[in-house]
C-alpha cells in the first residue's frame, strides 16, 4: 500500500513539475534579463543567466521614464477602485443574502453575465458617455470604470459568504439597540473578514492591471498608470528589453509583496468562498 502511494505521488510530481516550470519560466526570463547589460541582451547566442549581472538597469529606469508617477497612478487606481467596489458591493451583497424580492434570481444571473462580458465590446459606447460627461483624461474615470467591472464578481461572491452567517447574530444585535446597518457593520463584516480580503485583492489586482480604459481615456503623461508607462521603454527603432524587464519586475513585485503580507487571510477567504 505504501509503495502504491509513493508511486502515485511520484507520478503527480513528475506530471506537475514541467507545468510549474512552464508557468514560472517567463518570470525567470524577466528577472534574468533585468540584470543584463544592453549589449548582452542583443548579443548572440542568447544567454539564460547574465554573464555580468548589474543593477544599473534598476537605477536608470527612473530617469528614462517617470516611474514614480506611474506607480502613484496605479496605486490610486488599484486602491480607489477597490474602495468604491467594496462600498457599493457590500450593501448590495448583504441585501441579496438577507432579503427576498422579485427578480432576485434574474439579478444574480445578470451579475454573472456582466462578468463574462468583454470590456472591448463596450469601449465605443463608454468613450461617448465619458466624453459627454467631460471626464476624459481623468483618473477618477479609470477608478470608477475599474470598480464597475469588478463589482459584479465582488457582489456574487460576498452574497454567498453573507448567506452562511446566521441571522440570529444580527437579530441579537438589533435587540440590543443596533439598527440593521449597525448590526451589519458590527457583526457581519468582522465575521466576513477573510472573504472581504479575498475580494479586495481581486479588486486591487484588477485595478492595478488596468490597461484598456487607461489607454483609451487618458492622455496626460502624468496620469498614466504603469501598464501604459512601460511602453516608454519601447522606442521607435528598438525595445530596451533590459530596462523594460527591470520596470516590469518592479511592477510585479508590488502584487507579490501584497500577497505575501496577507497570504493567510487570502487563503482562508478563498477556501471559505469556495465552500459557500
The predicted model gives 81-93 an average pLDDT of: 92
Cross-strand pairs, 1? none
Q: What is the pLDDT of residues 8-45, one digit of tens each?
A: 677 777 777 888 888 888 888 888 888 888 888 887 77
Matching residue, cell 471626464: 135
pLDDT at 266: 59
Q: Say yes or no to pLDDT of 143 above 90.
A: yes
Cα–Cα dist 273/276, whole Å: 5
Measured CA to CA, the distance from residue 143 to residue 11 in angstroms comes to 46
- According to the model, what pLDDT value does residue 235 have? 74
Residue 144: pLDDT band (50, 70, 90) is: very high
Give the model confidence (pLDDT) of 212-265 as tens digits: 899 899 988 889 999 888 887 877 777 888 888 888 888 888 878 777 776 666
The residues near 100 (Cβ < 8 Å, ≥ 6 apart) are none
> In which residue are the cell numbers 467631460 written?
134
Distance CA 145, CA 151 (A): 10
For position 4, what pLDDT does the model report?
A: 56
Q: Is the pLDDT of residue 126 over 60?
A: yes
CB 264, CB 148: distance < 8 Å = no
Query: Of 93, 43, 57, 60, which is closest to residue 199 (Cα–Cα)?
Result: 93
Residues 88 and 155: their CA atoms lie apart, in Å, by 9
Domain ranges of the chain: 66-232+264-275
184: number of Cβ within 10 Å = 21
Domain 66-232+264-275: give its CATH architecture: Orthogonal Bundle (1.10)
Amino acid at each position: 500500500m505504501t509503495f502504491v502511494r509513493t508511486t502515485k505521488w511520484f507520478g503527480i510530481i513528475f506530471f506537475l513539475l514541467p507545468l510549474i516550470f512552464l508557468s514560472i519560466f517567463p518570470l525567470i526570463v524577466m528577472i534574468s534579463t533585468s540584470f543584463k547589460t544592453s549589449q548582452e541582451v542583443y548579443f548572440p547566442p542568447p544567454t539564460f543567466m547574465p554573464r555580468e549581472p548589474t543593477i544599473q538597469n534598476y537605477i536608470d529606469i527612473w530617469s528614462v521614464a517617470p516611474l514614480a508617477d506611474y506607480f502613484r497612478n496605479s496605486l490610486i487606481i488599484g486602491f480607489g477602485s477597490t474602495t468604491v467596489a467594496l462600498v457599493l458591493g457590500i450593501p448590495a451583497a448583504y441585501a441579496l443574502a438577507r432579503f427576498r424580492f422579485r427578480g432576485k434570481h434574474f439579478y444574480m444571473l445578470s451579475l454573472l453575465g456582466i462578468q463574462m462580458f468583454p470590456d472591448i465590446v463596450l469601449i465605443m459606447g463608454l468613450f461617448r458617455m465619458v466624453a459627454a460627461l467631460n471626464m476624459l483624461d481623468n483618473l477618477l474615470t479609470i477608478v470608477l470604470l475599474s470598480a464597475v467591472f469588478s463589482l459584479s464578481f465582488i457582489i456574487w461572491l460576498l452574497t454567498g459568504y453573507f448567506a452562511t452567517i446566521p441571522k440570529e447574530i444580527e437579530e441579537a444585535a438589533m435587540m440590543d439597540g443596533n439598527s440593521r446597518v449597525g448590526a451589519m457593520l458590527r457583526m457581519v463584516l468582522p465575521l466576513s473578514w477573510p472573504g472581504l480580503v479575498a475580494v479586495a485583492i481581486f479588486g486591487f489586482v484588477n485595478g492595478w492591471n488596468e490597461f484598456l480604459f487607461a489607454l483609451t481615456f487618458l492622455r496626460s503623461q502624468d496620469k498614466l498608470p504603469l501598464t501604459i508607462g512601460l511602453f516608454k521603454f519601447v522606442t521607435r527603432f528598438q525595445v530596451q528589453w533590459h530596462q523594460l524587464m527591470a520596470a516590469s519586475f518592479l511592477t510585479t513585485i508590488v502584487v507579490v509583496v501584497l500577497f505575501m503580507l496577507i497570504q493567510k487571510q487570502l487563503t482562508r477567504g478563498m477556501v471559505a468562498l469556495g465552500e459557500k
